[in-house]
Structure 1
Amino acid sequence: VVVEAEIFPRILHCLKDIDEFVRKNAATCIREIARHTPDLAKLIVNAGGVAAMVDYITEARGNNRLPGIMTLGYILSAPTTMFQHMKTS
């Protein structure tokens, strides 16, 4: 339902919000989407989610980084050939 609402790339802008709770909740939502299927992980990548998540991790502090780190882990572990170049770089 969340993906059908076409939240990408709008939710990625929430990762830059001034409120840290908005940023963390956006990262958590993206993490939950990334973990479901390789196709959803690909949707995040195609929307520019990898760069946005790296920026989020760089700017977040403490445990607030965890959803971003986990998101990248789910994306990189997706059994899809489009991620193979990322794994070997």
Structure 2
Amino acid sequence: MIKLSWALVAEHVDEWTGDDIAQGAAVLEARVSAVVDTSGMKPETVQHWRTTFLAPVVDSLRAEGTCSLARGELWSKAAGPLLACASPVD
């Protein structure tokens, strides 16, 4: 079991718990995207935000996060105003 938590500085905090890190990454991406999409930013700013902040965190979760969690270790990654952390749950 994995617990994944994330925060957008001064905006939004959320979490997900489950067994599949790929599903967790998809949930993180979808929920953060929903917040960004409704933020009122211009479309080009939303795209920049996704590319610069969201994509690096999700990609790291899928790669380094998967390896860390498989070893029973914690994982975290920050990019700009986005911070995500994952930990194994017994």
Q: Which has the higher contact order (CA 8 A, sep 6+)?
A: 2
Kindly name which structure, 1 or 2, has the bigger radius of gyration based on alpha carbons.
Answer: 2
